[in-house]
Structure 1
Amino acid sequence: MSALFKKFVFLVFLLPFAINLQAQEAKDLDIYLAIGQSNMAGRAEILPDLKAPLEGVYLFTGKEWIPAVNPLNLYSSVRKVVSMQRLGPVYGFARKMQSESPERKIGLVVNAKGGSVIAEWMPGTLFFNEILSRARLAAESGEIKGIIWHQGEGDVKEADQYLGKIGHLITAFRDSLNLPELPFVVGQLSEDKPVRKPLNDFLVNLPQEMPNTGVALSYGTTAFDSTHFDSPSQILIGERYADQMIKLLDAKKQTDSFSFGVLSDIQYADVETVGKRNYRGTLETLKRTIPILNAYDLEFSVHLGDLIDRDFESFDAPLSILEDSEAPFQFVWGNHDFSVLDSLKQRVGEKINNQKGYHSFEIGNMVFMVVNGMDISVGGHPEGSKNHTQALEMMETLEKGGANNVKPWNGGVGQEQLAWMESIVQNAEKDGKHVVAFCHYPLLPENGLHLLNHKEVMDRIGGSPAMVAWLSGHHHAGNYFKDDNGMHHLTFLGMVEAETPALGAIVTVKKDKLIIHGIGNEEDRILNFR
């Protein structure tokens, strides 16, 4: 047996196992339905760089999920022959959706049929029932987030009736799936033939006629046969579908409430209890808390620093437990996270998936800032480094002024990060958005455990009406303070000193308030926006 043949046999044997492994990972998906006629099915050439599977994207076969690879209409239950299935807009759509939210997995249900007219898709028809059946099966693996639709070439002669028909179809899908606000994006036809212009013009008006709809425009595209988009155009219009879908999903989040979880100061180490600090037992508290977080539909959870007490190898135990969280975790840098050898300090950020220490992200009308309070600190950087030296200078200046927080376990924010924070808050204020900051160190009250240069931070961002709350850890006993500007300063209880079997909080974001639901001894609170 030749070496080449042996390799072929090995790959044939291995492939089903690889696909099955991928299918097992296809859970908690953001699912999108892609339906319509030939341009949605795809007739463009699948170029060499478009042949690889899309990372983090899965395709529903009608029975199982497999890695998404072109042609994506291959498993349509109503398609034409296999040889006609090529590149459609779904590839560009899915690629951009996944790149915008890389922490999420995308599920695609593609069921298009070339040459179909809209009447064939109406409620009660084979096509409608087929996609509905597949959608319901697919929804067992996640949540249906939206529908993209490309059809109309067969209806250009009745363009004036198209808006009414597509509106009826959208309503039918939403009613049948019990998703009354399901985003629905339609695509314009190729502009190569003037006869399509009236229908394209009508489609532009859809968002004014139907809520939660969008239009992927076809300007700048070309067709290789006067009807079907060529490969670059399919990618382009696919990305425009994604832009519209993201816009609709973001708008929906602005009106919806959502929740996130909060934990702080797990501070694990494989050492004996000292005082109230149960360094080993904190893992049991964490194990009991994660199922409580998982009982909620959380957008994310955040740990407010001090995942460990000491030693780099300590990270593995709590991180292993946190893998059971259904919501992704944001990790804030804490002082004890850097109680490791100087040679390992630069690896801490990578270990907890927060390489730089600070960043921001948005959900609907909310902006979340993850602040690096270890930026300027003696503990967070090797002795003799620039940031270590700056920390010594800052602490010397503060000590001369009688500050009570000049301690080696406290840290501050550097000028580069401070300018970034100010920019984030200013932009949020301009856009009418609200900001919540996550930092290991409190800003207020001045109890000796607060950020070294807290006054400078308050001067730069504290007066903005966009600033809602500064959420922190570090002070294990917890605290709450509302400053004169109306900004909330909430310090959460430290898990390492938990007095209850589970400890943490669920924060629900409403349009005008944060509702804190405490777990264990954490208090319930309502933090109204300014």
Structure 2
Amino acid sequence: MKIKITHLLLTLGLITFSVQSQAQDPNFHIYLCFGQSNMEGQGTIGSQDQTVDNRFQVLQAVDCSNINRQATEWYPAIPPLCRCWNGLSPADYFGRTLIASLPSHINVGVVNVAVGGCRIELFDKDIYEDYLDTYKEDWFQNALDSYDRNPYNHLLSLAKQAQEVGVIKGILLHQGESNAGDAQWPTKVKKIYDDLLSDLDMEANVIPLLAGEMVHEDQGGSLASMNKIVAQLPEIIPNAHIISSSGCSDKDDNIHFDAAGYRELGKRYGEKMLSLLEYDANAPILHSESNTTYSLSTVYPNPVDSYGQIDFSLPKATHVKLKLYNTAGQEVTQILNKPCTSGHHSISYDFASVPRGVYYYRLETNEKMLSKKVLIQ
């Protein structure tokens, strides 16, 4: 069953997932995934992997007749999530982990463009052509051909399409095996990260970058020494986070994870993202929302230095005031003051003019008052 991007309406059993092409839905969270073979997915797809909550979607990167999918259309995120003959990847259980804990009105989509065996330079839009012949073998050249021989541009094009219907919340990376021992790897990753943010008109250093370790030394990983270089990434990208692979099982080659390893690693990516969104992966019920209750989210991102997103829900139409207060209880600014309909709302506010420090923002209606803390840096 496929989903048209121009008019998206998919019904699976009693579950309905819809996206309107003309309006960006702040509750459709998009994550970009890129890297080499471990991000492609080399795990055997089991029966437990072939059923997925319809709230988790994939924007198909390439045409795949073997699984009846067409490029640039949305589908339920049943693996493979990269190309036609790939296997289980970290993206699979990343999305499943998010869906298990996020409120029911939030949907998750992934875009996965990865090339087995590639150096990180293959995603650098300025020098990628120098790396198109890294391997002459058909498996490598066919992967490049499927992306029109420009993986970065292919990822960017899909990301722009995804932005039309959702909001990019994070970037997932798993790469490094082909750059093992390369001390400049973090700088090279930063170049690609910065290019993506710029080309997608997103603010620098706001979108989290989650980077996974190579197969860990405790599993006998043959390239585990690269993890020391990967660990340096947060030193040059403030919003980079390292996902540990310790204990994630691998294949006999000691380079690729096995299915169980991908499930665990993907779960760790998801748990890290949930912590950044300030949801508890181990207590999803605490964060469930319905149309019969008032709710107020934590600003994303938090800490915030400029634009931040605030979500709130209303059980009925009412007048809403949203104000920012300092720790002394003094009103600093008014964020919102207008009538709002029932349901979920999302607003973006520029905190850049507010001095650094700890503040509280408060939602007020005739019947309810809710407040949350925010750190402005």
In the superposition, the TM-score normalised over structure 1's length comes to: 0.46
Quick check: 1:34–1:111 contact (8 Å CA) kept in 2? yes
Shift of 1:100: 2.1
Shift of 1:259: 4.3
Work out whether 1:101 is the aligned partner of 2:126.
Answer: no
- The residue identity in structure 2 corresponding to 1:95 is R
Equivalences for 1:317-336 in 2 at 5 Å? 322=342, 325-327=343-345
Residues 262 and 190 from structure 1, CA distance in 2 versus in 1: closer, same or farther, beyond 3 angstroms?
closer
Cα-to-partner distance string for 1:63-83 (whole Å, 9 max, x where unaligned): 221211111113xxxxxxx33
Give the corresponding residue for 2:194: 171
**Equivalent residue of 1:134, what SS?**
helix
Residues 138 and 508 from structure 1, CA distance in 2 versus in 1: closer, same or farther, beyond 3 angstroms?
farther
Quick check: 1:153–1:189 contact (8 Å CA) kept in 2? yes
Give the corresponding residue for 1:209: 236
**Equivalent residue of 2:199, what SS?**
helix
Report the Cα distance in structure 2 between the residues aligned to 1:101 and 1:302, rounded to whole angstroms: 27
Bigger Rg, which one: 1
Give the corresponding residue for 2:207: 182
Shift of 1:206: 1.5
Quick check: 2:55–2:107 contact (8 Å CA) kept in 1? yes
Give the corresponding residue for 2:134: none
Quick check: 2:187–2:236 contact (8 Å CA) kept in 1? no
Give the corresponding residue for 2:50: 51
Residues 510 and 159 from structure 1, CA distance in 2 versus in 1: closer, same or farther, beyond 3 angstroms?
same
**Equivalent residue of 1:55, what SS?**
coil
Give the corresponding residue for 1:41: 40
- The residue identity in structure 2 corresponding to 1:64 is E
Quick check: 2:314–2:344 contact (8 Å CA) kept in 1? no
Give the corresponding residue for 2:160: 136
Work out whether 1:253 is the aligned partner of 2:246.
Answer: no
In the superposition, the TM-score normalised over structure 2's length comes to: 0.63
- The residue identity in structure 1 corresponding to 2:231 is V
Cα-to-partner distance string for 1:238-279 (whole Å, 9 max, x where unaligned): 111122223344572332655456869x6xxxxxxxxxxxxx
Quick check: 1:259–1:509 contact (8 Å CA) kept in 2? no
**Equivalent residue of 1:145, what SS?**
strand
Quick check: 2:29–2:109 contact (8 Å CA) kept in 1? yes
Give the corresponding residue for 1:22: 10
Cα-to-partner distance string for 1:122-144 (whole Å, 9 max, x where unaligned): 12431111101110011101111
**Equivalent residue of 2:183, what SS?**
helix
**Equivalent residue of 1:327, what SS?**
strand
Residues 69 and 510 from structure 1, CA distance in 2 versus in 1: closer, same or farther, beyond 3 angstroms?
same
**Equivalent residue of 1:21, what SS?**
strand
Give the corresponding residue for 1:72: 81
Give the corresponding residue for 1:154: 178
Shift of 1:229: 0.5
Report the Cα distance in structure 2 between the residues aligned to 1:473 and 1:173, rounded to whole angstroms: 43
Report the Cα distance in structure 1 between the residues aligned to 2:339 and 2:46, rounded to whole angstroms: 41
Shift of 1:434: 5.9
Quick check: 1:57–1:67 contact (8 Å CA) kept in 2? yes
Shift of 1:106: 0.4
Q: CA RMSD in A?
A: 3.8
Quick check: 1:22–1:67 contact (8 Å CA) kept in 2? no
Q: Percent identity?
A: 25
Work out whether 1:233 is the aligned partner of 2:226.
Answer: no
Work out whether 1:121 is the aligned partner of 2:123.
Answer: yes
Report the Cα distance in structure 1 between the residues aligned to 2:96 and 2:312, rounded to whole angstroms: 29
Give the corresponding residue for 1:364: none
Cα-to-partner distance string for 1:115-174 (whole Å, 9 max, x where unaligned): 111111112431111101110011101111111011111111x43221221122222222
Residues 512 and 60 from structure 1, CA distance in 2 versus in 1: closer, same or farther, beyond 3 angstroms?
closer
Report the Cα distance in structure 2 between the residues aligned to 1:31 and 1:213, rounded to whole angstroms: 17
Report the Cα distance in structure 1 between the residues aligned to 2:77 and 2:310, rounded to whole angstroms: 31
Quick check: 2:360–2:371 contact (8 Å CA) kept in 1? no
Report the Cα distance in structure 1 between the residues aligned to 2:250 and 2:178, rounded to whole angstroms: 16
Report the Cα distance in structure 1 between the residues aligned to 2:76 and 2:375, rounded to whole angstroms: 41
- The residue identity in structure 1 corresponding to 2:178 is G
Report the Cα distance in structure 2 between the residues aligned to 1:50 and 1:194, rounded to whole angstroms: 25
Cα-to-partner distance string for 1:42-100 (whole Å, 9 max, x where unaligned): 111111111113331111124221211111113xxxxxxx33x1101111100111222
How many residues are aligned here?
278
Equivalences for 1:51-450 in 2 at 5 Å? 51-61=50-60, 62-74=71-83, 82-83=84-85, 85-102=86-103, 103-124=105-126, 125=128, 126-156=150-180, 158-179=181-202, 180=204, 181-191=206-216, 192=219, 195-225=222-252, 226-250=254-278, 252-255=301-304, 257-259=308-310, 286=317, 322=342, 325-327=343-345
Shift of 1:289: 7.4
Report the Cα distance in structure 2 between the residues aligned to 1:177 and 1:246, rounded to whole angstroms: 23
Report the Cα distance in structure 1 between the residues aligned to 2:161 and 2:190, rounded to whole angstroms: 25
Report the Cα distance in structure 2 between the residues aligned to 1:257 and 1:241, rounded to whole angstroms: 22
Residues 186 and 302 from structure 1, CA distance in 2 versus in 1: closer, same or farther, beyond 3 angstroms?
farther
Report the Cα distance in structure 1 between the residues aligned to 2:375 and 2:255, rounded to whole angstroms: 49
Residues 16 and 131 from structure 1, CA distance in 2 versus in 1: closer, same or farther, beyond 3 angstroms?
closer
**Equivalent residue of 2:9, what SS?**
helix
Quick check: 2:360–2:372 contact (8 Å CA) kept in 1? no
Q: Please, which runs of 5 or more residues in structure 1 have no aligned partner?
A: 1-14, 75-81, 267-285, 304-320, 329-431, 439-470, 475-490, 493-506, 514-530
Cα-to-partner distance string for 1:284-317 (whole Å, 9 max, x where unaligned): xx5x979x99xxxx99x999xxxxxxxxxxxxxx
Report the Cα distance in structure 1 between the residues aligned to 2:57 and 2:272, rounded to whole angstroms: 21
> Where is the strand percentage greater, Structure 1 or Structure 2?
2
